[in-house]
Structure 1
């Protein structure tokens, strides 16, 4: 994996310092590519490309970047891994194309030179973000993979210079970069705990949407966006060509697709392993890796002493059954908390999914043993694994049998008691202690009884439900989660929840978390479950193969059960969480107190301090469980402090 950055000052031909500026931008990404760094520059055209290399395939100088095509016309600056590069290479070789090395970079470059960028990216299987410079047409094109596995930001300076980079910290190195915070993005962040695409925390800086190409040239001047892969089209094709086979045929097909995806992602010229949490997704990936390996694969897990947050014991059982070479790390609260001050620098813009902490810790531990790790991310979105899908479906069915008047009456009765009151009741009745924040969940049921179901689902995804009320001059962006036309395009409610998550939560939370945490330590993460061929297959199967008899991820679990006994994985979903509530009341309290002082909040002028102070005091006194809302505000201001 690598880091890329670039400058295209197409209206200012002679820039004596463009090479040095671009080099500085690349240096900000050294953590993504610690093995080598280089800059390619066409000063007359105002174009410079910087690359930081993490050597995975073809460790020789033949794989170095930026790379010039054999015809001398094109230059590529590439971050990612393409798993069908060998097949594309063979096709090109048959047409007379010759190669210097065996890197996937060279294959992509020569394919672009031979058949064009659009035709090339439509062939690629993998994760990527890259820039292609056409020296003849003076045209720059930047492209991002279909699911948004690899990041890419872009912006224009006031002098009409295009900047792009893998991370914001590289853009900040440019002397003309504006650090003007987008307050609308702050509002969006407080709702979601991440900044939704295509926006970023900075005004006029955007994330390139997954499956898109941005083109700009001296002749065009204005950038042109085009889409080469669309989830909406994939959904439509899945409805037109549904899977009509039997259960066994579906299991066979998914097994074959997953096995192929895993096998191709085990190709590397460096040591390789797998993250193993003990859940369905990571266990499936580890099982398929071990099936195709002639020696024990290396697997890695992390554990906590708090039992309700500890999955390491389950991961150990899976590893023992599969026969992997397993390494586990039990983290003390002190070790976990030591990571917290580093998070704003690691994640580059406000990000408050608290599982960022264990993700970083397991990445750092894994990097000591391997350079590449396969991860099980994406299974929940593709095969309906999230608990909220089941909850929303149950609420929808419940509401459907109740008269409107009774629905609204019940909703008001439930809402009349605060979430903390419901928490206390659950605690008093000694109900399921692994159920986190029951009061908030019950209030979501109340909302479902009084609202439409898309609004209910938005509420289930929301942290701050009215962020504009606390952000000063902020008006959150309304994206796909508010799209009222989506119901006619994707009529099934379960499909619509998954559709929204694949477009938002998957790239902007899950994949962002994995990319930043792994890249911060120079580790490459590969995600076989979201191979785009598996994504496309998941939209062909009927809902009964996703949820059956109250069991989520039914089809994926049937594949796993071929390799791991059901009893080893048949347990309630835990998630990759941390005891944030207890930490904010205990070891993190003093640090949080400093961040959440009225003077500190006022210093940055982003939010109204009064409601923050109120819930912080309530949380410390045990009068409410506001840790997720507080963590959002803490991460926002910790980021502001780091990047002020």
Structure 2
């Protein structure tokens, strides 16, 4: 795991200035690679690399790295888990060079020289982002792994195309556009993250997963300031896919595994192979363990493959409703891992907040970013590589919206939309306090039933969906939107299309749950979950690996019918069957809980003064970006406990914290 950066400069500045610029850009990524660094320049191109040594700790793994034929130069971030298999294939074809070392980077650049970039990447099993310079054709290639585990930004800084693992390296270029993209901000306010292909800065983009950007060595007539999508060409820039999620989904739907025993057996083999490959390391390795299905399964498979206790890590909180550590401890005890549990006070958790703008470089409002960073800090004290269970929810049906979203729509679908709008308006006519009173009366009369908490808040949220949802896809968008109408917060800007508007495979037309899962795989998974893990871990120079996203596991998940994912109101059925071979069901079974913290309580208490400052009318309206009125109203309702606007407010607060750090509000 490393960090890369660079630029392709069309202004032909003098060599000393190019060297100084790439040096500053590379130095900004020290946290991603504290073990070594390298820079490489040639005519217009500059590549920089920071190294976190994990495989082949010798000088033979140093980057940027030249191919043996001297045609290609690569800066690479990630791991190619099957690189020894690729070496053997190259040797069998008598196409391998005389190997200088044992690094996966050397294997990959040899594969590129032999097979070409697209074929080499299609054969590579791993997580990666890379910059490749073709000296023969004066051509730059940027590429990203299939699922988006590793980040890669690119864009324009004056007459230079800049790129890197994090925005902080691009900002070191003196011509970087230090402005806020209003369209990206609208999307951020809806989703709580900036979705690819945009970034928070205009003219700077995220390369989408599974894609290659090709840049010929001449300056375009007009650099694109709108996202370039796969299959598009603008001047000398093209983007293409070397791997397609849609094609994987279509193949899986047309080739289902209907036999349950066969399905779980194949999945067991694929997961074991993925864990085994991703456990190869020349430095200490451990795993995150929450006690949930995914992390418990990954740790169980790791432990089954070694006689030594696996090092596992979890974080516990003072607030019992947010503390998953007892469940993790029970799983660790049963499996016999060497378990580390870090107990964190609310004060220690809140102390992370000032660091978030530097960690994430752009607004990011998944509040589990705080415990994620804390557990990464704990793990880094013992290991250099940590394996996580991320990806299981999206691939195997773990989120609650997959269960009750289609149920809600099946009841609403029969009601004509105009009638639904009237129903919504009727519900909203009674204030939140009135519905809360009804809820309290219900709880008093039906004391033997489960309590209805925040009845008013839930009633009004339902009303908003009744008034605006015309189909299941609309309902999904509503469920994943924090601010349903972010245009009210930023006037004069039209919300752009996102990947959610891209066509889905027709094989999903009659399966709303599968449609939601695929949308999450291509948006929420890379732009929220994997971004969160990458930044939280690399901020402390910790490499993370995700076996659930192994290509074979992803392909198998697409072949499993929905009833092998969701059954009897529970998700991840197939994963559970494998896990129960290692851990008793009684230890695992419990309601699903997120990796959360009591942000809503903090905002009414110890964080109130901090939040009030950032949510002041003056700071909200700075530079004419935000409309303070709806935000101030939500803040007042939250403080009075009439509504729970925790996530809407955290969304705005993370934007404001980032603006304050970057622009000095």
TM-score range, shorter chain: over 0.9
Structure 2 residue 613 is the aligned partner of structure 1 residue 570: no
Report the equivalent of 2:248. Answer: 234
Deviation of the 1:623 alpha carbon: 2.3
Aligned match of 2:297 = 284
Asked if the contact 2:55–2:282 (Cα under 8 Å) also holds between the matched residues in 1, the reply is yes
**Does residue 6 in structure 1 map to residue 6 in structure 2?**
yes
Cα distance in 1 for partners of 2:90, 2:528 equals 37
Residue 561 of structure 1, CA deviation: 1.0
For 1:31 and 1:433, the matched residues in 2 are separated by: 48
TM alignment of 1:239-250, pairs within 5 A: 239-244=253-258, 246-250=259-263
Contact 2:249–2:505 (Cα < 8 Å) also in 1? no
Give the structure 1 partner of residue 381 of structure 2. Answer: 368
Shift of 1:307: 1.6
- Check if 1:268 corresponds to 2:281: yes
CA distance in structure 1 between the aligned counterparts of 2:500 and 2:464, rounded to whole angstroms: 17
**1:201-247: CA deviations, max 9, x gaps?**
00010000000001112268521111111111111111222223x21
Q: Give yes or no for contact 2:81–2:126 (8 Å, CA) kept in 1.
A: yes
Cα distance in 1, alignment partners of residues 11 and 458 from structure 2: 55
Q: Find the counterpart in structure 1 of residue 209 from structure 2.
A: 210
CA distance in 1, matches of 2:534, 2:240: 25
- The answer to whether the 8 Å contact 1:6/1:48 transfers is yes
User: What SS does structure 2 have at the residue aligned with 1:31?
Assistant: helix
User: Does residue 315 of structure 1 match 2:328?
Assistant: yes
1:378 equivalent in structure 2 = 391
Cα offsets for 1:356-397 (capped at 9, x unmatched) = 110011111111111100001110100111001111021123
Q: CA deviation at 1:13?
A: 7.0
**1:471 maps to what in 2?**
490
Matched pairs, number: 639
SS in 2 for 1:16: helix
Q: Is 1:223 aligned to 2:237, yes or no?
A: yes
Gaps of 5+ in 1: none
Instruction: Provide the rounded CA distance (Å) in 1 between the counterparts of 2:587 and 2:634.
Output: 40
- Alignment partner, residue 49 of structure 1: 47
TM-score (norm 1): 0.95
Is the CA contact 2:140–2:217 (under 8 Å) kept in the aligned structure 1?
no
- Provide, for residues 55-110 of structure 1, a one-character-per-residue CA deviation record: whole Å limited to 9, x for no partner: 10011111010011111111110000110001001111231522110000000011
Q: CA deviation at 1:626?
A: 1.2
| CA drift at 1:486 | 3.7
2:611 corresponds to = 592
Residue 262 to residue 454, structure 1, CA distance change in 2 (3 Å): same
Show the counterpart of 2:67: 69
User: What's the offset of the Cα at 1:605?
Assistant: 2.8
Q: Name the counterpart of 1:88.
A: 86
Q: What pairs up with 1:439-518 in 2 under 5 angstroms?
A: 441-443=458-460, 445-446=462-463, 449=466, 451=469, 452-483=471-502, 485-486=503-504, 488=506, 490-491=508-509, 492-518=511-537
Task: Describe the SS at the equivalent of 1:200.
Answer: coil
User: In structure 1, what is the equivalent of residue 189 of structure 2?
Assistant: 190
Shift of 1:534: 1.1
Are the counterparts in 2 of residues 197 and 504 from structure 1 also a CA contact under 8 Å?
Answer: yes
Q: Does 1:139 align with 2:112?
A: no
Superposition RMSD in Å: 2.1
Q: Distance in 1 between matches of 2:565 and 2:337?
A: 29
Separation in 2, partners of 1:552, 1:421: 35
Q: Which moved more, 1:423-432 or 1:545-554?
A: 423-432
Q: Distance in 1 between matches of 2:567 and 2:206?
A: 37
Work out whether residues 128 and 150 of structure 1, in 8 Å CA contact, stay in contact via their aligned partners in 2. yes
Distance, in Å, in 1 between the alignment partners of 2:440 and 2:383 is 44
- The SS at the match of 1:286 is helix
Superposed CA deviations along residues 228-279 of structure 1, whole A, max 9, x for unmatched, are 11111111111222223x2111111111111111111100011110100111
Matched, 1:114 2:133: no
- Closer, same or farther: CA 555–606 of 1 in aligned 2, 3 Å: same
SS of 2:378 mapped into structure 1:
helix
CA deviation profile, 1:317-349 (whole Å, cap 9, x unmatched):
010011100000111011001101111111110
CA distance in 2, matches of 1:227, 1:517: 28
CA distance in 2, matches of 1:435, 1:553: 27
Residue 293 of structure 1 and its aligned partner are, at CA, apart by 1.3
Per the TM alignment, residue 487 of structure 1 is displaced from its structure 2 partner at its CA by 7.8
CA distance in 1, matches of 2:550, 2:108: 18
For the residues of structure 2 that align with 1:106 and 1:435, how far apart are their CA atoms?
59
Q: What corresponds to 2:270 in structure 1?
A: 257
Q: Is the 8 A contact 1:395 1:448 kept in 2?
A: no
